[in-house]
């Protein structure tokens, strides 16, 4: 019994040491980058306090980046990054194959689902023709609609003109009356991914304090990337100061 217990303890110790060694090797040999972070609820009941982090690369849309690849849960994703003027990095594109000659981070798709989107060609009652991007909403040709358009000219809402007696546009939008002449539909995929840099562990009892300090501060995460895009989170920078 004691032998089995000793073996189990030894295995756990070796596992812990391998994790520490991997992290230290990644920091020593990897490329240093900075990512702007957002935080969530801290605390891991088994491992003590931590701050849960997310990034711009945590949630991606194929349409926004002009990506044609389709993804499913557990797919490997490669996100190409570019350096901003303030020294942080942001995503410029992503895909299912490892990019060449670029800074990139490798992750795993957690969820992937499609969002119906498209472009409407609308003929207004005035005779003018204009186009709107739309999300989720089905439209029928030759049906007269009320289109609720914001100050930037973007379509926010719509409803059949026959329902105008009991529906209206919000106060910050104006009404455009017209009929749909053409509908171009395509599928925009929402990709949620993780990269192994979503938890920053801190001294037990200080997770909540650090999360409070982080909120609204534009915190940066110090990340080290290996040549194949694997990442290691070293620390956080809050108000220009690195946490130890």
CB under 8 Å, gap of 24 or more: what pairs does 133-142 form? 134/158, 135/188, 139/180, 139/183, 140/180, 141/179, 141/180, 141/181, 141/182, 141/183, 142/179, 142/180
Whether 129 has a pLDDT exceeding 90, the answer reads yes
| Chain length of the chain | 244
Query: Which pLDDT value is given to residue 23?
Result: 47
Band of pLDDT at residue 109, cut at 50, 70 and 90: very high
Give DSSP secondary structure letters for 49-61.
-EEEEE-GGGEEE
Token pair recorded at residue 14: 């070796």
Percentage, residues of the chain above pLDDT 90: 39
Cβ proximity of 148 and 173 under 8 Å: yes
**What pLDDT digit, counting tens, does each position of 3-50 carry?**
655 555 555 654 544 444 444 444 445 799 999 987 655 555 455 577
**Which residues share a beta bridge with 146?**
159, 177
Query: Which pLDDT value is given to residue 112?
Result: 93
CB under 8 Å, gap of 24 or more: what pairs does 19-22 form? 22/232
Query: Which pLDDT value is given to residue 117?
Result: 76
Whether 136 has a pLDDT exceeding 70, the answer reads no
């Amino acid at each position: 019994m004691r032998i089995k217990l000793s073996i189990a303890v030894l295995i756990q110790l070796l596992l812990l040491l391998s994790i520490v060694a991997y992290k230290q090797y990644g920091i020593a040999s990897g490329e240093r980058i900075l990512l702007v972070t957002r935080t969530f609820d801290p605390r891991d009941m088994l491992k003590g306090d931590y701050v849960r982090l997310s990034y711009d690369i945590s949630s991606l849309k194929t349409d926004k980046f002009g990506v044609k690849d389709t993804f499913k849960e557990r797919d490997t994703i490669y996100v190409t990054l570019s350096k901003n003027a303030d020294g942080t990095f942001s995503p410029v594109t992503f895909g299912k194959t490892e990019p060449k000659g670029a800074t990139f981070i490798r992750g795993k798709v957690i969820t992937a689902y499609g969002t119906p989107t498209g472009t409407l060609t609308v003929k207004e009652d005035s005779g003018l023709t204009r186009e709107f991007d739309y999300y989720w909403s089905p439209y029928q040709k030759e049906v007269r609609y009320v289109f609720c358009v914001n100050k930037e000219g973007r379509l926010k809402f719509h409803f059949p003109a026959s329902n105008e007696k009991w529906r209206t546009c919000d106060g910050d939008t104006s009404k455009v009356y017209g009929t749909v002449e053409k509908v171009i539909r395509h599928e925009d995929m929402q990709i949620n991914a993780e990269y192994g840099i979503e938890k920053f562990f801190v001294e037990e009892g200080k997770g909540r304090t650090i999360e409070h300090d982080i909120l609204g501060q534009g915190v940066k995460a110090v990340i080290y990337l290996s040549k194949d895009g694997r990442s290691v989170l070293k620390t956080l920078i809050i108000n220009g100061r690195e946490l130890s």
